[in-house]
Amino acid sequence: MRSVALRHFGNAEDDSTDSNNNGIIEIDNANTDIETSQSDVNATPLKFNRSQFEGLLAYNAAVRTHSAKSNRSTKAFKRSYLDTDDDAADLTRIQEKLRNLELESRKIKPATPLKFQDSVFLERLNKELELQDQKLAELRLKDTAKKDSFPSLSGEAEEVVNKALNPRQNPSIPVVSGFNVDLMPHDLKTLSPATWLNDEIINFYGQLLMERSNRNPTGLYPKIHFFNTFFYTTLRDHGYDRVKRWSKKFDLFALDYVVIPVHLGMHWCCSVINFRDKRIEYYDSLRGDNQTLFRLYRDYLASESLDKKKCVFDFQGWTDYCPKDVPGQLNGFDCGVFTCMYAEYRSRNADFDFAQKFMPFIRRRMIYEICMKKLCVD
């Protein structure tokens, strides 16, 4: 196997040619990278003037596109591009070599000029690169899903869960205390199968999300704040003045995400003020919409900026985000668990990989996490 020798004599940028060679292009078929017969190796190098070679390239490209043409059409097409019958006789041999030359050109270093490549080949190469990028992106998503998959509970963890759900517990003694909150047996029982979550469980779980973020200041997890389940209804029903003190102890605008559970009477949803991507996000396991929320949060950000920063908030580039391809519930009682999962995944910037079928397991895992006051994905 040898390298292809392609010599172009003359100026490739315009129609002028060197007086010594008359714009001759020579293909040395004795020095080629493709498999050839002995008769090919010993053949005389093929020479074309510039117009002939351009015609040859055009014909070669057309043949690839119109390979089903009849022999009669092909012969007529040859005559339209080639000057002599001798040129046409050489075409069969050269056509195959040019086709292989095009494939072998991929091995040439980027610094080597590819004078013989046409736009069709470059377009094909770009499409292949795009396909490779797409495959890499799919592999990354699979890898992320694998990392985010649910770890199974150990036997010891199952004992903790069973103890927390023991019906013989004293109802007046807290099962777990933390973050200035006492969770009673009836609170943990809302994590039993087919039961609505109450606000105490959701708020306690939100504290676990913040605790994880604050415990990793190196940037492993986004900087977040979790407003409790009363924030949305207070803002909606009473306005900014009733919630402006809620951010007195921290800089809201220095965060990555502000996670806010949304209580709609008989339904729980999750919302996020995403400072990283400049968008207000709304996640509903019933795939609903909430334009009121988007307006409320924009008014809230505007008022918060004036109150805390003494300046007008810049909404340029901000969008409202309400995806419909999120994991959804298939019953009337898992909305609270979905809300906690939306919050948990967004608080670590992970792709959603949970589903309705995992809800029984997720409920038990949440009981274990609450009792241990630590998230399993930590």
Q: Which residue is associated with the tokens 């391809």?
A: 325
- Give me the catalytic one of 87, 187, 284, 334: 284
Angle at 235 between CA 331 and CA 230, to 5 degrees: 50
Backbone φ, ψ for residue 89 (5° rounding) = -65, -35
Extract the tokens encoding 253. Answer: 């605008």
User: What is the pairing mode between strands 24-28 and 5-8?
Assistant: antiparallel
Per the annotation, the verdict on 311 as an active-site residue is no
How many Cα atoms within 13 Å fall on the side-chain side of residue 90? 19
The Cα–Cα gap between 368 and 163 comes to 10
The Cα–Cα gap between 360 and 377 comes to 18
Per the annotation, the verdict on 376 as an active-site residue is no
Closest CA to 30 of 60, 7, 3, 57: 3
- Give me the catalytic one of 8, 199, 267, 320: 267
Q: Give the chain's length.
A: 378
Give the distance between the most distant pair of CA atoms in the chain.
106
DSSP-derived secondary structure for 87-136: HHHHHHHHHHHHHHHHHHGGGS-TTS--TT--HHHHHHHHHHHHHHHHHH
CB 241 within 8 A of CB 331: no
Query: Which amino acid is it at 5?
Result: A
User: What is the pairing mode between strands 46-49 and 176-178?
Assistant: unpaired
Q: Which residue is associated with the tokens 């050109």?
A: 105
Q: How are the residues of the chain apportioned to helix, strand and coil, as percentages rounded to the nearest 5?
A: 50, 10, 40
How many Cα atoms within 13 Å fall on the side-chain side of residue 219? 0
Per the annotation, the verdict on 269 as an active-site residue is no
Active site residues: 267, 284, 335
